[in-house]
Structures are given as structure tokens and as C-alpha cells.
A and B are shown apart, each in its own frame.
Chain A
Amino acid sequence: AQSVSQHNHHVILSEAASLELGCNYSYGGTVNLFWYVQYPGQHLQLLLKYFSGDPLVKGIKGFEAEFIKSKFSFNLRKPSVQWSDTAEYFCAVNARNNAGNMLTFGGGTRLMVKP
């Protein structure tokens, strides 16, 4: 069964600091990878996704993520965070041969950006 690990549960940064959130997954086959963001009081929204091609994926709001197949990782990055990036971030994986079309989510990372 596939699983997703997010190593940082809480991250506190000052505005303009750089961000990197770790995500590792366990699955031997071909996967689709996602990052979702949940702003306070809101539902999950897709931030970016990787299906194939260029392993460096650019998403909304200046976020990007890099798929490193050899490390089973899909880390999220942003060069300069803003106060409005305060949210919880979830990494998710969907195995391509999974007939159930289900996403497996990581435990989430709460990011707080201090103004």
C-alpha cells in the first residue's frame, strides 16, 4: 500500500524567508503527486501536481515542487514566503494503477509566517 510522510509538522518562518517542505512516499510503481493547501477555515485547494515530464513543477502563488524519483520525494519550495502563505500543506500521492482513483495524504505541515 502507498504511504506519504511529511516530516515537518509545524514550521514557523518570517516573511521573505525561503520555504522547503519535505514529502516522501512509498510506492514502487508510477505515481501522480500533488500538493494541496488549506487556508484557515477553508477547504483544501490544489497547489500543484506532477504527472510526468519535467520533474520541476510550478504551481500557483510562486510555489514549486521537485520530483526526485530516486529519493521517492516531492518537496515543496517557495523562495520568499508571505504572511498570506500561513496555512496547512498536504502532500498526496495517487498510484496510477490504482483502480480506486484514491489519493493518499500525508499528515500535513502547518506553516506559520510571521509578519
Chain B
Amino acid sequence: NAGVTQTPKFQVLKTGQSMTLQCAQDMNHNSMYWYRQDPGMGLRLIYYSASEGTTDKGEVPNGYNVSRLNKREFSLRLESAAPSQTSVYFCASSEWGKAEKLFFGSGTQLSVL
């Protein structure tokens, strides 16, 4: 029972490069989220998908795009990475309306040089 799986765990990019962070959950959850974690700022929501086929902006969406490929998978794309996007990224999932049952992945540490 894997829960929420993120890949890769670590990534180093040069400014201007693109990459996609992958996330998959096996709990049959409707809702999926992408957060970034920065020192002193906690977790901030980048994008979320309330259900398959829908995506919405969170608090800090600029510079990112997302795709809800199917119910299991929710990817985050950086089209042109910037140093300000150096962060730890967490994917999470839950049943809609069940914030108390938010499950997190193990995180992706991204450095943009």
C-alpha cells in the first residue's frame, strides 16, 4: 500500500530548463494537491485538482502548470525553471471535503541554479 508516491526525490536544474514532477496515489482519492515548502513560510498551495478533469490555482501558481492525467496521477510542470522555484515540493491527496485525511508524499527537493 504505497499511498502517495512522488518522483523524483531530488533534482537539480539550470535556469530555463523544464521538468515535470510526477505524483500518483493509490487510495482512490478524488482530490490532489501540489504544495511547495520554503523555510519560514510553511507549505503553500500551488495548484489543486478537486476531481478528475478539473484543476485550479492555489496561492502561488505562477511559473507552474499541472495536469490531472487520470484519477491516480497529478503532475506538476515547470516550463522554464527559475532560482526562485528552488524548494521542496509535496504532493498530497484526500477525499473531497476530508481535509483531516490529507495524505502527503515524501517530497521532491528541487534546486534551480
Q: Does A25 contact B (CB under 8 A)?
A: no
Interface range, B side: 20 to 34
Q: Which residues of A contact B45 (CB under 8 A)?
A: 102-104
Q: Does A32 contact B (CB under 8 A)?
A: yes
Cβ contact within 8 Å between B90 and A100: no
Q: Which residues of B contact A65 (CB under 8 A)?
A: none
Cβ contact within 8 Å between A90 and B43: yes
Cβ contact within 8 Å between B58 and A102: yes
Decide yes or no: A108 and B40 within 8 Å by CB, A46-B102, A102-B45 being known contacts. yes
Decide yes or no: A94 and B99 within 8 Å by CB, A43-B105, A44-B90, A102-B48 being known contacts. yes
In whole Å, how far is B23's beta carbon from the nearest beta carbon of chain A? 12
Q: Once bound together, how far apart are the Cα atoms of A90 and B92, in whole Å? A: 15
Q: Summarize A's interface: helix, strand, loop or mixed.
A: loop
Q: Once bound together, how far apart are the Cα atoms of A8 and B45, in whole Å? A: 22
Contact of A32 among B35, B99, B107 (CB under 8 A): B99
Decide yes or no: A100 and B105 within 8 Å by CB, A32-B99, A43-B90, A105-B43 being known contacts. no
Contact of B40 among A4, A51, A104, A107 (CB under 8 A): A107
